[in-house]
Every structure is written in C-alpha cells, then in structure tokens.
Amino acid sequence: MHRLLFSTGNVVVSLILGAVALAFVGINSPELLDRLITVAVTVKSWIVASGLDPKYNVWVRLLLEEKQLVFMFFTIAMRILMSILTWMAMSLWQSVRS
C-alpha cells in the first residue's frame, strides 16, 4: 500500500509542479514559452505527417494539441527532477543510517 500511495503521490505532485513550472516560465520568460510552443507545433506536425494509418491519425489530430505537449514536457521534466531529488534523499538517508 505504501508503494501505491508513494507512486500516486509522485504523479499528482509532478502534475502540480509541472503546472507551476509552466506558469513560472510563462510569467518570467514568455519568449522561452513562445519558443516551446513553436517546437510543440513542429512536433505535432511531425507526428501527424509520420504516415500513421488514417484511422489513428485522425485521433492524433483531434486529441493532441500544442499546449498539451508543452504541459507534458514540463510534467516529465518535474518527474525527472523529483526522481533525482528522491534518489539523492534516499542516498543521504542510507548513509546517515549506516
């Protein structure tokens, strides 16, 4: 049960931190956020033009938006950061216990 709560909490916290990071970048560096959105437009175009079967491609076009890609980027970045921080904290905890 402990692992389930920890992993679920990790996902929820990374979503919240991803949204905070997105807002922080949007407020403090709007030109960077504009470039990220431009990259997301390029990524979406690349995915749509990748030659998927039309029965899948129509759903990609319908459901995948640029702002979702940018939010996913920030969420994944926060998950990576949280994993590194958790690893460092666990390493420190193990060295203190030893």
Look up residue 49 and give its DSSP letter: T
Residue 92 has a pLDDT of: 93
Mean pLDDT value across residues 18-43: 96
What is the pTM for the complete model shown?
A: 0.82
pLDDT tens for each residue of 35-91 = 999 999 999 999 888 888 888 888 888 888 999 999 999 999 999 999 999 899 999
d(CA 85, CA 77): 12
Residue 74 has a pLDDT of: 97
Cβ contacts of 98 within 8 Å, gap of 6 or more = none
Confidence bin at 24 (pLDDT 50/70/90): very high
